[in-house]
Amino acid sequence: MKTQSVRLGTESIKKLIIELSIPAIFGMLLIAMYNIVDAFLISWGVGVRGLAGVTVALPFHLFLMAISQMLGIGAGSIISRALGKKEQKKADLTFSTTVITSFFIGILLAFLVYIFKDVFINLSGGDKETYFFAKNYVLYLLPGVPFLILLIAVNNIVRSEGNTKKAMEVMFISGIINIILDYIFIFRLNMNTDGVALATSISWIAGFFHLVFYFLNKNSSIRINIRNFKFKFNVLKEVIGIGAASFLRQISASILVIVLNNILPIYGGFGVIAVLGIINRINMFIFLPMFGVLQGVNPVIGYNFGAGNIKRVKEAVYFSVFLTSIMGLFYIVIIFFFSHNIFSFFSDDPILVKHGKQALLYSHIALLLAGFQIIASGLFQALGRVKVSLWVSLLRQFIFLIPLFFIMGRFFKLDGIWLSYPVSDVISSIVIFILVIREFKKLGRER
Tell me the DSSP string of 137-148: HHHHHGGGHHHH
Q: Which residues, including other chains, have CB under 8 Å from residue 88's CB and lie 6 or more apart?
A: 82, 223
Assigned domain for 3 exists: no
Assigned domain for 387 exists: yes
Domain count of the chain?
Answer: 1
Greatest Cα pair distance in the chain: 64
Q: Which residues of 111-128 are buried (b: 16+ CB within 10 A; e: fewer)?
A: eebeeebeebbeebbbbe
Assigned domain for 1 exists: no
Q: Using CA atoms, how far apart are residues 133 and 200, in angstroms rounded to an integer?
A: 15
Assigned domain for 164 exists: yes
Residue 290's domain comprises: 10-446
Rounded CA Rg of the chain = 21
Mean pLDDT by 10 residues, the chain (447 residues): 57 81 76 72 72 74 84 85 78 88 93 85 71 81 91 85 78 86 86 83 91 78 73 88 77 79 74 78 83 82 76 86 92 88 77 82 89 86 74 79 89 87 92 88 69
Question: What's the pLDDT at 1?
Answer: 42
Question: What's the pLDDT at 258?
Answer: 80
Q: Using CA atoms, how far apart are residues 151 and 215, in angstroms rounded to an integer?
A: 13
Report the predicted TM-score, pTM, of the whole model to 2 decimal places: 0.69
Q: Using CA atoms, how far apart are residues 375 and 324, in angstroms rounded to an integer?
A: 8
Amino acid sitting at position 197 = A
Assigned domain for 4 exists: no
Assigned domain for 308 exists: yes
Assigned domain for 364 exists: yes
Question: What's the pLDDT at 340?
Answer: 83
Where do the H-state alpha helices sit in 184-269?
A: 193-216, 233-268
Main-chain dihedrals φ then ψ at residue 130, nearest 5 degrees: -120, -10
Assigned domain for 281 exists: yes
DSSP state of 397: I
Q: Which residues, including other chains, have CB under 8 Å from residue 335's CB and lie 6 or more apart?
A: 342, 360, 361, 364, 367
Q: Which residues of 30-40 are buried (b: 16+ CB within 10 A; e: fewer)?
A: bbbbbbbbbbb
Question: What's the pLDDT at 420?
Answer: 92
Question: What's the pLDDT at 447?
Answer: 58
